[in-house]
């Protein structure tokens, strides 16, 4: 029986971070998990800074980084499916070794002025082998908490952890590449992935049991989480969220450069990230009485509305205020989307489901960076901000149209050809 441990000193009606972090055994996977997921936020900027230094071209550097991001988004769900079928440890051990080797190979090729095709050849396996630590941590929370009200708090905690990672990671990577050596960021990323990933994999007692379904050890036929209709709807929503991250990154950089204050780029994006983190903290501290399906629709509507106003902002103060509001609307959508996975997807497919959502954000971000960059080059005047608006509005229309698919599955049943359990009937 998979262990479900929740503290008994607090009421489940008032879930909070203190109660969550007192869950027995939580820190044994949280600390190594944080170390292992930190390199994820260092990878892109480390590649850009190294390749730009060796090639002298931001275009080449961006293309190599984009190849890494796209391959990660495409291969992440497959990694999650393998983890559900064979266990997280079985996937992590070879995965971290492959990623570290590929990252160091890419570093060596860049330093040796290798041709572009060779950089692409190394970038693809580097991205494809990125360990999916975040989804694995979320799956471990599911084992610990089961159907506890603390699941929403855990989803919020993980969202805030992701944001903290994406604030610290680029700062550390930039400092290493500029103050130590252009290759230091990517080398450190590979080393952290190896050490953190091995420590995380060593915590076998907290990983989901292979074949476990909602706490049972019944063996079921493994089916892709993508076959759950609600997961496909959430993927569209998370693609829209990715368009916000990518569009904001490019457009804020273009805006601050156009006004002759490129140093403000980090400040404005920091305000956006701060709004996301603060909102995520609040989401996890509230005992919600509103159904998560409704919360997602309302929260996503607010996100689309605030993102639609970005293109009209032409001053630093207005853009900072709107960026803060957009960030505050991103976290509720992320938290609620991840929370819905617990009710939509059987336990045996949840790691894969989380990786689909994480990959959707990465893919949406990669597409948004490309489109926003083209719009800024061709039209200028904040045209890149049209990307977050378009991405979130299209995703909102999809959510509203297909909202019925976000309903929780019936108790006692699995989905997509899983094994259901019938109630015994008395026979004369």
> pTM score, two decimals?
0.72
Determine contact, residues 107/176, Cβ cutoff 8 Å.
no
Q: How far apart are CA 78 and CA 358, in angstroms?
A: 12
Q: Helix or strand or coil: residue 261?
A: coil
The pLDDT value recorded for residue 308 is 92
33-37, 115-119, 232-236, 286-290: which range is least confident on average?
286-290
pLDDT at 305: 95
The least confident of 80-89, 128-137, 210-219 is: 210-219
CA distance linking residue 179 with residue 172, whole number of Å? 10
Question: What is the chain's mean pLDDT, rounded?
Answer: 79
Arithmetic mean of pLDDT, 197-202? 88
State the Cα–Cα distance between residues 327 and 273, nearest whole angstrom.
6
How is residue 139 written in tokens?
A: 């799956």
Query: How far, in Å, CA of 285 to CA of 270, rounded?
Result: 23
What is the C-alpha separation between 312 and 327, in angstroms, rounded? Answer: 17
Distances (CA, A) of 258 to 255, 263, 314, 382: 5, 12, 11, 10
So what's the pLDDT on residue 390? 94
**Residue 213, SS3?**
strand
| Ordered DSSP codes for 125-186 | HHHHT---HHHHHHHHHHHHHTT-THHHHHHHHHHHHHHHHHHHHHHHHHHHHHHT-TTHHH
Contacts of 173 (CB under 8 A, 6+ apart): 41, 42, 45, 46, 49, 185, 188, 189
Q: Which band of pLDDT confidence, cut at 50, 70 and 90, is reported for residue 3?
A: very low
Amino acid 1: pLDDT? 35
The H helix count followed by the E strand count for the chain is 14, 0
pLDDT band at 2 (very low <50, low <70, confident <90, very high): very low
User: 195-221: b or e for each residue (b if 16 or more CB lie within 10 Å)?
Assistant: bbbbbbbebeebbbbbbbbbbbeeebe
Higher pLDDT, 282 or 388: 388
Alpha-carbon distance of 72 to 117, in angstroms, equals 18
**CA 370 to CA 194: how far, in whole Å?**
31
Give the separation between CA 95 and CA 101, rounded to whole angstroms: 10
pLDDT of residue 109: 95
Q: Which two tokens stand for residue 136?
A: 């694995």
- Beta-carbon contacts of 321 under 8 Å, excluding residues fewer than 6 positions away, are none
**pLDDT greater at residue 48 or residue 344:** 344
Separation in Å, CA 25 to CA 90, 140, 207, 332? 21, 10, 11, 27
pLDDT above 70 (res 419): no
Structural domains of the chain in order of their starting residue, each with its CATH number: 25-210 (1.20.1250.20), 220-409 (1.20.1250.20)
Task: Give the CA diameter of the chain.
Answer: 86
Please tell me the distance from the alpha carbon of residue 48 to that of residue 52, in angstroms, as a whole number: 6
CB 241, CB 330: distance < 8 Å: yes
Q: Are 112 and 140 in contact (CB under 8 A)?
A: no
For 146-177, what is each residue's pLDDT tens digit?
Answer: 767 777 778 778 777 876 777 677 778 778 88
Q: Residue 357's pLDDT band (boundaries 50, 70, 90)?
A: confident
d(CA 346, CA 421): 13
């Amino acid at each position: 029986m998979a262990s479900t441990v929740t503290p008994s000193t607090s009421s489940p009606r008032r879930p909070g971070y203190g109660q969550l972090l007192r869950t027995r055994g939580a820190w044994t996977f949280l600390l190594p998990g944080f170390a292992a997921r930190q390199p994820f936020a260092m990878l892109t900027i480390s590649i850009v800074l190294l390749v730009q230094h060796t090639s002298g071209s931001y275009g080449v550097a961006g293309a190599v980084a984009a190849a890494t991001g796209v391959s990660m988004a495409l291969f992440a769900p497959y990694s999650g499916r393998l983890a559900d079928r064979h266990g997280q440890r079985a996937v992590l051990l070879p995965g971290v070794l492959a990623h570290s080797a590929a990252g160091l190979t890419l570093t060596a090729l860049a330093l040796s002025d290798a041709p572009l095709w060779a950089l692409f050849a190394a970038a693809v396996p580097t991205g494809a082998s990125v360990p999916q630590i975040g989804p694995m941590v979320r799956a471990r929370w599911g084992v610990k908490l089961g159907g506890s009200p603390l699941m929403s708090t855990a989803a919020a905690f993980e969202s805030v952890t992701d944001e903290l990672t994406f604030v610290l990671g680029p700062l550390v990577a930039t400092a290493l590449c500029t103050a130590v050596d252009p290759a230091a960021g990517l080398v450190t990323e590979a080393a952290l992935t190896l050490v953190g990933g091995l420590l995380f994999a060593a915590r076998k007692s907290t990983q989901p049991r292979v074949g476990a379904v909602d706490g049972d050890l019944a063996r079921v036929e493994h089916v892709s989480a993508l076959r759950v209709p609600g997961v496909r709807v959430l993927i569209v929503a998370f693609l829209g969220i990715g368009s916000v991250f990518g569009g904001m990154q490019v457009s804020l950089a273009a805006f601050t450069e156009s006004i002759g204050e490129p140093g403000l780029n980090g400040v404005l994006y920091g305000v956006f990230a701060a709004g996301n983190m603060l909102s995520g903290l609040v989401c996890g501290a509230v005992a919600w009485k509103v159904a998560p399906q409704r919360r997602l629709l309302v929260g996503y509507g607010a996100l689309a509305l605030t993102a639609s106003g970005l293109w009209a902002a032409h001053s630093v103060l207005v853009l900072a205020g709107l960026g803060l509001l957009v960030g505050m609307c991103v976290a509720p959508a992320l938290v609620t989307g991840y929370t819905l996975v617990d009710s939509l997807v059987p336990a045996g497919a949840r790691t894969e489901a989380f990786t689909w959502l994480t990959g959707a954000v990465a893919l949406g971000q990669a597409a948004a960076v490309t489109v926003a960059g083209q719009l800024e080059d061709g039209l200028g005047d904040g045209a890149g901000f049209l990307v977050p608006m378009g991405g979130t509005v299209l995703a909102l229309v999809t959510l509203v149209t297909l909202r019925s698919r976000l309903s929780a599955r019936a108790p006692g049943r699995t989905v997509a050809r899983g094994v259901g359990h019938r109630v015994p009937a008395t026979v004369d």
